[in-house]
Each structure stands twice: as structure tokens, then as C-alpha cells.
Amino acid sequence: MSKNDREIRDAVPGRHQTHDAASLAFLLHCRDHALPERPTFTHGGIPAIDPLTRNVPFHLGRVGSTEADAGEQPIRLTGPFERTFPCNSWAMHSAPSAGENIAVLRKVRGLSQTALARQMGITLSYLSKIETGLRPATPPNVAAAASALKVTTARIYGDPFADPSKQHELMDALRTVVRRHTLPREDVPPPGELAASLQRAAQLRANTDYLKLLQLLPKLLGQVTATAMESEGDAVAWGQVADVYSCAYACAHRFRQPDLADMIVSRQQWAAQQTWNPEAVAAAARNEAGTYQSAGEYSDGLAIIERAIVQYERTPGDDLERVVHLGSLHLRGIVLASRHEDANATADHVRRAKAMAERISGPDVLQHNLTFGQGNTALYELAAQIELNHPDKAAEVAAPLLKNPPAGLKPSRVGRLAIDAARAHLATKDLVGAEDALKYAFHVAPQMAEIHPMAREVLRVLWTLHQRSRPDLLAMAKRSGLAS
């Protein structure tokens, strides 16, 4: 085996398996490019699982088989890339992690660890630990790797689902109704029915029940849009359309569908601009900045936030709604600035967010899918400490917050608090504290914990650091698709 063949083989987790370079080159091509003609896989003359579909996890050399004892017959590929693969080159495996994907893509691009580490601005040792699961791939790490490897951050993170068919089916239904934003199929529902559906959507989002929310959204988007179109320019009606698109954005963001998230934000902006509604425009700008955050383009996201703040501050008003929307823009600014490693901008957004939060005397409030108050501001400040490499401070602040979460925070925020606490504990080498925080996240916001990139990264590191015998870790790893 040549040195190049060995490098390609070693890029694939599960090194005991044998793969020739031509087979891997084909698989890499499939992963990077749409084929002109869809190939067919057969096993002993019978159709076999197609690694280009999402029916099973597809990661180079790790495609599931329908039969555990499939025998020694080879898998035959017909079509434009006719080839025969040894049967033992396919094996069941869990969804790949961000670090594993970085390693594979680095090999594909012909980059050494030294070269990629230099482009990412981190040490060779740190990159090696990310690739092998000894350190988590943080959002700035993933953004830097995606830029160097010329792929999207979604490609680095990969698909978190072991069997994503249900999620993709629901997402496709949402994609269809978002595309038909000016052609709703639904009729105008009775006002009481619409109000109940809007309240349920907001509740499902706050509770991180994304699958039920996805089931509700297509019909609700059609109904709320039809209602607004017959409202003769009513600002409240169009604001409700924008609110529902905000719920849709949350799903697309969580399920790592960046293209759909971009389209949803454009629809949210369209709805917000149908009438004079500065609050809806500000909320849409916050989500627009969120798409830049997901892509790792933090400076551009900050520019969106700063522009939105300036525009919103020019509008008249001084009520609670204004406090929530302006404060929420600053919270997004905290995330973007801290991930951009701009300590001054982070401190400025923290200071201004705290000033706005002090105007809310009681618990945090939830309006138009935005949570704001002193509690949520403290959570964002905690997360910023992690991004700015002060995990000890973050862990210290997280302890009392986890013990007694601030009043008014829904599972979507408490779950995120627990995930950030787990990150902080892991960074300070408190493995028990990290595991306990993760368990709390799985308890309070299970669907978020199962798919959130940083929850999965912390779990992967704990799983790698000789913790496999711990039953709670095993249970969480199985739920996240990191272990079979």
C-alpha cells in the first residue's frame, strides 16, 4: 500500500477496515458532487443500501448493511462509476463527529495537520486532539476549519441523526410551504383557532419540541399568511407571520439546514416589511445575523446587528416590547463578538444588554419568541466567557444558575445554560461536572441536547476519555447517535 493510500485509509475512522484508493476516491466524489446518473448498489444481485441516501449514516467506509451476516458476496455498483466493493468494506457505525469530518476532509484536500492547523490559527497538538476526540471542536474552530477546507460549517458538523428520514421528511414539507410563501394553500381559519395554533407553536419552540413544531408549521404558515393577506395591511397580522417564520428558523437552525434557514429569514423579512412594524424588522435582523453566526462569519453578523440596532433606536417608543427587541439584538451581538474574539465589542454589548435588562423588574419575559431579562443576559455573558477563554469564570457563574435557574427562562434557555456549563467544566478538566451538566441538559431539553453541536462535542470528548463504562454517558451517546 502506498503512502497516499495509507493516508486516505487513516482518514477514515475504523482503521481496521480495508479500502483501496479508487474506492475511496469514488466515495469522496459522491460526497462532494451530484452524480449525472444515480448509481445502483447491489449485493448478490439484490439491491443494497445506497450510501448516497440518508437511510443510514454515510461516512467514508462506514455505510450500514441490511444484513449483519451478509456473507462474502461483493457489493456491485452499476452506472457511470461501475465498480465492485468487497463486502467487508461496509460496516455499521454511528454518525461522524465534527473532528472526524475535519480529518477526512483535510486528507481529501491534501493538507497535512501542520498546514491546516496553521490556517486555522491553532496549534498542531490542538488540531490533533480535535480530530481524535480529545478536545471539542468549538464553533470558532469549526468556522476556521470550514474556511480552510472550503466547505460549509454544516458540512463539518454533519448530520446528527442516525436515521434522519423522519426529520428530513418534515423538513421537506416545511421547505415546500416556505417556497410557496405568496401562494398559501390553506384557508383563513377562525380567529380562535389561529390564536391557539400560534400559542402552541411558541410553546413548542420554547420547550425545544422541534419535531412536533415541524409537524405544525406547514399548515400554520399557510393559515397565518392567508389571514394576513386578507387583513388589508394589518400590522399585527403580518407580525404574526413573521413570528411563525421565526419558529421555522429555529427548526432549520437546530437541524443544520443553512440554506433553508437563509430562505426562511428572507421570508421573515418579507413579512416584517409588509407594514410598519419595527419590532418585526428587528427580530428578522436578529435571525439574519444568526445565519452568519451559523456560517462562522462573525464579523458580518456583527455588522448586521449594529445596523439593526441603529435603525431600531431611531424609531419612537419606550415600552416593554422595545426593551425586549433591542436587548435581544445586543444578546446576539454578545455571541458574535465573543466568537470573533473581540473582547471590547463583547463587553460593550454585555453592558448595553444589562442596562436594558435592568428595566425589567421581574422575571425574564418571552415576547415574539424572544426571551429577555437579567437571567438570559447572565446566560449570554457566561457563554461569552467560554468563547473568550475564561472557562473557570464561566464554571463558577454556572453553578448557582444551574441550581436555581432564573425565573422566566424556558427549557430552550435552561438547556442551553446546561450545555454551556458542560463546556466550561470540560475546559477546566472537571469531567464529572461536565457529565452532570449534560445530564441536566438531556433532562430539561432532550431534543436540543441530542442535536446541539456543542452538547455532542462535549459528549464525544467524555466518551473518548476512557469514560465508556459509565452507563449515563452510554445512554446519552446512544440518544445522540454517537454510539450504537
pLDDT at position 469? 72
How far from 136 is each of 118, 163, 321, CA to CA, in Å? 18, 24, 38
Q: Name residue, grid cell 438570559.
A: 376
Res. 223 pLDDT band, cuts 50 70 90: very high
Residue 205 has pLDDT above 70, yes or no: yes
pLDDT at position 299? 98
The x, y and z cell numbers of residue 112, run together, are: 497535512
pLDDT at position 470? 86
Segment among 25-29, 86-90, 252-256 with least mean pLDDT: 86-90
98-157: what CATH class? mainly alpha
Residue 232 has pLDDT above 80, yes or no: yes
Residue 122 has pLDDT above 80, yes or no: yes
First to last CA, the chain: 31
- Name the nearest CA neighbour of 245 among 303, 286, 275: 286
Residue 29 has pLDDT above 50, yes or no: no
Q: Name residue, grid cell 451538566.
A: 437
Res. 359 pLDDT band, cuts 50 70 90: very high
Res. 166 pLDDT band, cuts 50 70 90: confident
pLDDT tens digits, residue range 440-476? Answer: 999 999 999 999 999 999 999 998 886 567 889 999 9
Q: Name residue, grid cell 435592568.
A: 358
| Most confident by average pLDDT, 24-33, 156-165, 467-476 | 467-476
Where are the CATH 1.10.260.40 domain residues in the chain? 98-157
pLDDT tens digits, residue range 46-84? Answer: 333 333 333 333 333 332 322 233 333 443 444 433 444
Res. 317 pLDDT band, cuts 50 70 90: confident
The predicted model gives 382-409 an average pLDDT of 97
- Name the nearest CA neighbour of 161 among 456, 405, 389: 456
Segment among 67-76, 260-269, 398-407 with least mean pLDDT: 67-76
3-state secondary structure the chain: CCHHHHHHHHCCCCCCCCCCHHHHHHHHHHHHCCCCCCCEEEECCEECCCCCCCCCCCCCCCCCCCCCCCCCCCEEEECCCCEEECHHHCCCCCCCCHHHHHHHHHHHCCCCHHHHHHHHCCCHHHHHHHHHCCCCCCHHHHHHHHHHHCCCHHHHHCCCCCCCHHHHHHHHHHHHHHHCCCCCCCCCCCHHHHHHHHHHHHHHHHCCCHHHHHHHHHHHHHHHHHHHHCCCCCHHHHHHHHHHHHHHHHHHHHCCCHHHHHHHHHHHHHHHCCCCCHHHHHHHHHHHHHHHHHHCCHHHHHHHHHHHHHHHHCCCCCCHHHHHHHHHHHHHHHHHHHHCCCHHHHHHHHHHHHHHHCCCCCCCEEECCEEECHHHHHHHHHHHHHHCCCHHHHHHHHHHHHHCCCCCCCHHHHHHHHHHHHHHHHHCCCHHHHHHHHHHHHHHCHHHHHHCHHHHHHHHHHHHCCCCCCHHHHHHHHHCCCCC
